[in-house]
Structure 1
Amino acid sequence: MAWEEWEQLKAQAADPRHSTRMQLNQYVAAPGGGGDTKGDLVVGHKDLEAVGKAAHDLFDDFTNYSGHARVASESAAGGLKGEGFALGGALEHVTERWNEQARTLLDACAHISNHLRYTKNQHAADDSYIAGAVSSIATLDEGFDNRRGY
């Protein structure tokens, strides 16, 4: 790189119209100077509860309705197969696949509901731990202040 080229690049970098600024350890401010943004994802307890409840309701409802469909399909497949219809074997195959897919969906719903319940409990435990740690620090500070005679 020639000296003139280096000087030109330095001048361009210093030009406020072409300036690229580095930002360390902060979230890019919102246009208009809104200083309230922190850049963290915020999800309220109500949001998590709604998702967990929807997953739990889907689990309950789907268990009920898919159970009726399973019993009816197995009965129909058995009847058709017993009468010698090839359709009975095909319906039996479809019923088996349906049951596998239904179990997969139910497992996913249970996983979502259980994970959100666990997350809620874990956050409550973390909040309790942090509150205890902070109050311990405040008590320790108070003890030092008392010792100094403040």
Structure 2
Amino acid sequence: MAWDEWEQLKTTAADRHSTRMQLNQYPADQGGGGTQGDLVVGHKDLEAVGKAAHDLFNDFTTYSGHARVASEAAAGGLKGEGFALGDALDHVTQRWNEQTKTLLDACAHISNHLRSTQNQHAADDSYIAGTVSSIATLDEGFDDRKGH
């Protein structure tokens, strides 16, 4: 495309006013009040989430176990006395166990994912540091050669 042709296209577009060029960019203000740009999560933030998931896993394992044992005992007692409520409570206890396992699996998944993410970032940092130091070594070689 020749320069004159480009100038003519710009003039035609400006005359029409129906189509305008718009640059894709992040909107100026999203009302968040914080810094704009990439999501940043610090090591302390990840540790806090991991600790909360680990604590929930441990505490919920203990307390749900107490609830399970008490419910099973109550269901067994009611069934032993001939109450139909015993079967219903036994059913609820089984569902409770299934839901408990789901929650505990989710907590373990969060904790494991954060651990693997931390390990991957450490590996990435090591790789980047090695690459950058290699470039610095190469630059020093050129500087030394230039001085001769």
TM > 0.5 between the two?
yes
Q: 1:76-115 to 2 correspondence within 5 Å? A: 76-115=74-113
Amino acid in structure 1 at the alignment position of 2:111: S
Q: Please tell me the root mean square deviation across aligned C-alpha atoms, in Å.
A: 2.4
After superposing on structure 2, the runs of 4+ consecutive aligned residues of structure 1 that deviate more than 6 Å are none
CA distance in structure 2 between the partners assigned to 1:38 and 1:95 by the alignment = 48
- Distance in 2 (CA, whole Å) between partners of 1:9 and 1:128 is 51
Alpha-carbon distance in 2 for matches of 1:132, 1:49: 26
Give the total of aligned pairs: 133
How far apart, CA to CA, are the structure 1 residues paired with 2:17 and 2:39?
A: 34
The TM-score normalised by the length of structure 2 is 0.79
Work out the CA distance in 2 between the residues paired with 1:89 and 1:29: 59
Aligned counterpart, 1:34: none
Aligned residue number for residue 13 of structure 1: 17
Q: 5+ residue gaps in structure 1? A: 1-6, 32-36
Aligned identity (percent) is 75
- Structure 2 unmatched runs, 5+: 1-10, 30-34
Alpha-carbon spacing, 1:38–1:132, altered in 2? closer, same or farther (3 Å)? farther
Structure 2 vs 1, CA of residues 29 and 55 (structure 1 numbering), >3 Å: closer, same or farther? same
Deviation at 1:13, TM superposition (A): 3.4
- The answer on whether the counterparts of 1:13 and 1:20 sit within 8 Å (CA) in structure 2 is no
Cα distance in 2 for residues equivalent to 1:11 and 1:112: 57
Instruction: Report the TM-score, using the length of structure 1 for normalisation.
Output: 0.78
Q: Please name the residue that 1:4 is paired with.
A: none
Task: Give runs of aligned pairs for residues 13-32 of structure 1, distance below 5 A.
Answer: 13=17, 20-23=21-24, 27-28=25-26, 30=28
